[in-house]
A and B are shown apart, each in its own frame.
Chain A
């Protein structure tokens, strides 16, 4: 593949930098960017991961990362542009998944993308001053901008928009503060009768500026910061971050630490999938599934607490290893607890997968085809049900035990909600398998050797990835040899997955919207708040939508009897 990339980019390469066998940085001229990106994405079928924008003070730099999902090699196209009024050709029309990141770089770094269709703000509010770019180096750490009156007003829904194709169209806003979403997001569903005809996604309600905060924290402190990106992926983000720093250092951690990392990361996957399953049941009107799933989730949280001392934010990762060891004397008890999960998973498999009503509610609903999954660059349990065989754990985790034990990647074919559910349930079995094997191996190892001493981080750059419960987590760090990262780019899986909703939800029923938007697992957290506005009058609120969904289940249940 490396030679293929070299061949296909012939004449365009200014500098080829091989950091390691799995990390290649290719400097090209920005006028070649569009053709190079198209060749890598379409011809070689590499997956576009994300783009990283950097302020080098003397100029601006953008890295476009492409991943080969068969071998785990990352090719990064590097382009430079002027700092002031720098322009880079947009690739969003070639790669749909690049739409948001271009908007983000435009508002946070001030890089213009020529030819981009959508240049509106993604994360910052409308009253953020023009020409102030928080991720630039001259924006002081800890600075704050004055806030205008309307900083959090919803975009005004215009009455004239309410007729489309001669038919009366209504807008149902879902959000911004809403259980369906990992981060508070704001979906506007445009509906004609019961059919969803368009979906508009607004982001930024959960923007906390973590990438900027990381630039002011010590390398060791950043692990705790990235843990707080998401409470449910609170092991995946630090895992990807330490992978990135270890990639920069070229460090391999002790064997025991690899097993401990794997155990805690897989426990997190089980508790996250159970959480999703329970709430998916809730949205379909099966509240019993919710209560049962969450009841048994406690077993997993107990195990996490036993290992790390906390139920959710584990603080297990450190650069060079793990912070806490698993005691060999406790391993038998842990294995028993892990084994006790299998009959519970059987129960859910039976309850969810063999149920005709769930079949009727989820089969062929919210379908994401393979082509679209590739085009939207989705990852994890949103991509695998669509037939994409990609799992970062198999290909690109040096400092984990995934290559040392036996397990399978679950791939389904239909891309509908049913397959997404099946995929997650079966993945939990794999996780139990992984945990049991790791605990067995740990028992044969001596306690104690769990981290390498890391004194300083030399100048350089590193990319770390991990397969979070929701998909690929991506971290990029750059060091200048100092105490803090110069740039820390983070991409959570939902960033890619949520955009695919604009495809999956359109064409479906309103009553299916709840489960469709939820199927990419932007986790549900708070109690719900949603209102539908029809000429200023409230039509549906969230409870109403939930009721519609539950009624549909009831109706189907009656029909199937």
Chain B
């Protein structure tokens, strides 16, 4: 039996922003508020990685932040779905020439899903959530 299936009913999400421009971050909060309301799917933001089933990573990784990401991933109970959120986290975007960059998120920790966009629209975020749910259930 696929044990991950049990997580898919209520994904608790931990949000990590490293040198993001805030726009991804406010869109994440935005989908929790009345119009989009992803709590319908049992999605909830939590304050500790130890409670989380998924981690949203936004922003380009900078020198002061990258190590925190690795630490958090190590502390998290596995399995953990990691979602690279937005263009910066997916590909470093326009910051790939910055002197303060490190390496892309998916070279630091394994990434389950990418949600591209600058910032991703709420519809794209919901689509991403649905895909993660399906992946946890083993449907894709």
Contact = CB atoms under 8 A, between A and B. Distances in A.
Size band of the interface chain B makes with A: 35 or more
B100 A208 contact: yes
Interface in A39-84: none
Interface in B45-87: 45-48, 58-60, 62-68
A164 interface: no
Interface string A92-132: 00000000000000000000000000000000110110000
Nearest to B44: A527
A177 B16 contact: yes
30 contacts: A139-B99, A141-B97, A144-B99, A145-B99, A151-B66, A176-B68, A177-B16, A177-B17, A184-B17, A184-B18, A184-B19, A205-B62, A205-B64, A206-B62, A208-B19, A208-B62, A209-B100, A213-B95, A216-B97, A231-B119, A275-B26, A290-B33, A295-B34, A295-B35, A311-B27, A523-B26, A525-B17, A525-B20, A526-B25, A543-B47
Contacts of A182: 22
Top 9 nearest A-B pairs (CB, nearest first) are A231-B23, A525-B25, A294-B33, A209-B98, A142-B97, A231-B22, A527-B45, A152-B67, A295-B34
Interface stretch (A222-230, A347-355, A382-390): A222-230
Given A231-B21, A312-B27, A207 B100 contact: yes
Given A206-B20, A230-B21, A523-B26, 7 more contacts: A151-B63, A205-B65, A206-B59, A216-B97, A295-B35, A312-B119, A543-B47
A207 B62 contact: yes
B50 to A, nearest CB: 11
Contact of A147 (B19, B45, B63): B63
Nearest to A149: B67
B94 interface: yes
Contact of A176 (B23, B26, B64, B119): B64
B45 to A, nearest CB: 4
Interface string A164-185: 0000000000001100001110
Nearest to A294: B33
Given A228-B94, A311-B121, A543-B47, A208 B60 contact: yes
A172 B93 CA distance: 35
B28 to A, nearest CB: 7
A261 interface: no
Given A527-B15, A527-B47, A294 B99 contact: no
A229 B100 contact: no
Interface of B: 13-30, 33-35, 45-48, 58-60, 62-68, 93-95, 97-102, 118-119, 121
A517 B110 CA distance: 35
Contacts of B68: 152, 176-177
B88 to A, nearest CB: 8
Contacts of A141: 97
A543 B50 CA distance: 14
B28 A312 contact: no
Contact of B67 (A144, A151, A213): A151
B60 A294 contact: no
A151 B29 CA distance: 30
A147 B102 contact: yes
A234 interface: yes
Nearest to B58: A526
Nearest to A139: B99
A208 B95 contact: yes
A529 B34 CA distance: 24
A395 interface: no
Residue from A184, A209, A216, A295 whose CB has the most chain B CB atoms within 10 Å: A184
